[in-house]
Amino acid sequence: MIAHTPEPPYYAVIFSNIRTDIEDGYKETSMEMVTLATQQKGYLGHESARNDLGITISYWDSLESIRIWKQQTDHLLAQRMGREKWYSAYKTRICVVQRDYAFGL
């Protein structure tokens, strides 16, 4: 599903990752992180896709909202579990969306 976002500018956090073969708790934690993110002040939406490479993009109204989300207690635990068990590699990028346009939405 394509996220419905406001008029720019707003921020995008792009989380690209490669999974390990360990499934223990991954799906449950992933669903919990989506639920928690949607409850955070400043959250605007997200999009996610996975093949060999996983990419999740979350949209936020400010850098402050992103900072607060990164420090959320359950999110910190999920980050640690990701490094220890679920990901063999990842990269996070934070960007300003200056322009967006759509077709068919």
Full-model pTM: 0.93
- Gap between the Cα atoms of 16 and 83, Å rounded: 13
Instruction: Spell out the per-residue pLDDT of the chain, length 105, in tens.
Output: 999 999 999 999 999 999 999 999 999 999 999 999 999 999 999 999 999 999 999 999 999 999 999 999 999 999 999 999 999 999 999 999 999 999 998
Give the residue from 92, 90, 84, 88 showing the smallest Cα distance to 24.
84
The CA dihedral of 72, 73, 78, 80, to the nearest 10 degrees, is 110
CATH classification (class only), 25-97: alpha beta
* Contact call for residues 19 and 56 (beta carbons, < 8 A): no
| pLDDT of amino acid 91 | 98
If you search the block for the tokens 């607060």, which residue do you land on?
Answer: 68
Rounded Cα–Cα distance for residues 10 and 95 (Å):
9
pLDDT of residue 60: 98
pLDDT on residue 105: 85
